[in-house]
Structure 1
């Protein structure tokens, strides 16, 4: 099983912390965000991961080279020449997903206890699903809009009063949820990507949703943190302190050296 971790962002909301360190290597209780996400994916059975890198990309490359794991092959999708956004970043790494098998995509700044194995099984049980998106019923100015069957119909920005509608739900009722930054994607999605190099994966979903099923996976009962600010970083630290197991045994990764835990 494969995955992509989106780690190329500038981390502007975490400045000045990210002025000298990529957000992916910001530490929570001695472990980089990137390490925490890798471990979560490993526990779900992922054995090959590609990580896109732009901001302080050399630090991400160094982390990948130094991390010792007998189970998981790590690769870097180098975006130093151009920050491509989520959709463009995924397209840039398309050749990595050449086995015609659904794969995970996971934002590096999302920490959660979403059952990734259950998410993957749910997606695979829906033979017509192009992608399955983790969503939450939480306050957010940006919402994805779904129909009664859980299929994507549109998007809205409540602060700006903006909407992008892919199709109308049969009963005329929107179900609005916030995206959680975790998805399972079928490789067929690459057929729906535009020619330009920079674009959002959400725009691809909205375009494909007019004819294909992009599904919601609601996880309101699980812990979830978007590490967008220093305050949220502190909140996530409390969760990681109680939940993260520092020693990984068997086929999973060994503990990183202390030099890998800090910028």
Structure 2
């Protein structure tokens, strides 16, 4: 398994925390979020880790160079243009082997999910992508049928829906995305020509013809510390 950490975001929700440093270097428990993510992915068996950078990119690159990591950590430099999730993955394609799945991990996620279990389930399902999801309140939900196949997406606030499988969309289980997903390298063959796009759009289109699964996570701890309240909560928990 190889891995990618999405660390290029502007971190605007964290306001004062990210005025002079990137979100990836915001600390929890005495460690930058990026270090938490690299160590978790390395422990899960990643053979290489790619980190995309944009906001205060040089700071992230300097931090990566300053540590002696257990596995190679490579940089995908989006300094010139922030490419969103799909575009960021596509831009980094040349840094990955075509022989291993890619586990993608948002830098602002903290949790105790067993990533080896997620990878094992992905391998068993023979899917082109596996999305880690859980039951929690949010505005946007993926929808899955009784066999955990992705059938669509909806925004509860705006009412917007995107349907991949009309036959199974009504009554499907609504689950919130956890910022963790696994893709097969062949996914690059199905990406749009443009350079900036959301990976969610790719998943919803592919789900019409390909096997895309949800991994229903019920681990005890999951936090999106890209929000001020949860960042403070995490700091108390990891103190």
Q: Please say whether Structure 1 and Structure 2 have the same fold, judged by a TM-score greater than 0.5.
A: yes
Residue of structure 1 in register with 2:84 after alignment:
85
- Which residue of 1 is the match for residue 102 of structure 2? 103
In structure 1, runs of 5+ residues without a counterpart are 242-263
Question: Which moved further from structure 2: 231-240 or 187-196?
Answer: 231-240
1:151 — aligned with what?
149
Q: How does 1:99-138 map to 2 (within 5 A)?
A: 99-127=98-126, 129-138=127-136
Tell me the residue number matched to 2:34: 34
Q: Does 1:173 align with 2:206?
A: no
Q: Secondary structure at the match of 2:229?
A: helix
The answer for the alignment partner of 1:210 in structure 2 is: 208
Equivalent residues of 2:23, 2:226 under 8 A apart: no
User: d(CA) in 2 for partners of 1:36 and 1:221?
Assistant: 17
Q: In the aligned structure 1, how far is the partner of 2:47 from the partner of 2:97?
A: 15
Following the alignment from structure 1 to structure 2, what is the Cα–Cα distance between the partners of residues 218 and 170? 18
Partner residue in 2 for 1:238:
236
Native 8 Å contact 1:148 1:169 kept in 2: no
**What is the CA-CA distance between 1:168 and the residue it aligns to?**
2.1
Whether the 8 Å contact between 1:147 and 1:169 is mirrored in structure 2 is: no
Displacement of 1:214: 1.0
Whole-angstrom CA distance in 1 between matches of 2:237 and 2:167: 38
For structure 2, which runs of at least 5 residues remain unmatched after alignment? Answer: none
SS in 1 for 2:131: strand
Question: Which of residues 180, 191, 194 is equivalent to 1:193?
Answer: 191
C-alpha displacement of 1:99: 2.7
Residue in 2 aligned with 1:22? Answer: 22
> How far 1:51 sits from its partner (Å)?
0.2
CA positional deviation for 1:49:
0.4
| Alpha-carbon distance in 2 for matches of 1:186, 1:169 | 26
How many residue pairs align between the two structures? 239
TM-score (norm 2): 0.97
Equivalent in the alignment of 1:50:
50
Contact persistence 2:11–2:18 (CA under 8 A):
yes
